[in-house]
Amino acid sequence: MSFNHTDEQGKASMVDISAKPASRRVAIATGHIKLQPSTLELIRENQIQKGDVIAVARVAGIMAAKQTRHLIPLCHQIPLTMVGVDFALKNDGVTVTATAKTTASTGVEMEALTAVTTALLTIYDMCKAVDKSMRLEGIHLVSKTK
């Protein structure tokens, strides 16, 4: 059994979705970044030198979802109708949840996962000067519907 999708010449290609009908699709992804308590306090008090960590990470996640086709080879370009990125400050870090929606012939799970990952990486980048023990964890797809 082959796991590669290839065209007639044996080269990698996008999956042909032209025969699939467009339908409303939603994907939700989540992930967590472990932080020191002192880092969480700096985020809560908006005292990170680079600025408002949550606001910047939210915009970064949304922007990344919109660019998924440029980041992931063979990923389809789809018209996003909504991308939301939410944050929950926990005792041990920040949990990010992204929701992506479209009406298309293929799903939006890659966009939701890209939003979560980029938001987490943005938090990492903005906090790296004050926290050397940060760790990204548990990035995964929570659900997808069509």
| Cross-strand partners of 140 | 30
Question: Does 7 participate in catalysis according to the annotation?
Answer: no
Residue of 7, 16, 92, 125 with catalytic role: 125
Closest CA to 137 of 99, 109, 96: 96
Counting Cα atoms < 13 Å in the Cβ hemisphere of 74 gives 11
Residue 45's nearest CA partner among 35, 34, 54 is 54
Active site residues: 125
